[in-house]
Amino acid sequence: MDNRQGLNDDQSLYLIPIFDNREEAMDLLEQIYAQIFSAELDLWCNDQSQWPKPRSFELFQQWFALSFYNLIEDMASNHLDTYHVDGDFADRLQQALN
DSSP string, 63-90: HS-----S-----SSS--------HHHH
The CA distance from 11 to 57, in Å, is 19
* Close Cβ partners of 28 (under 8 Å, ≥ 6 residues apart): 16, 17, 19
Segment 19-29, tens digit of pLDDT: 889 999 999 99
Average pLDDT on 9-25 reads: 87
Q: Given this model, what pLDDT does residue 39 score?
A: 94
Report the percentage of the chain scoring pLDDT > 90. Answer: 45
Report the predicted TM-score, pTM, of the whole model to 2 decimal places.
0.67
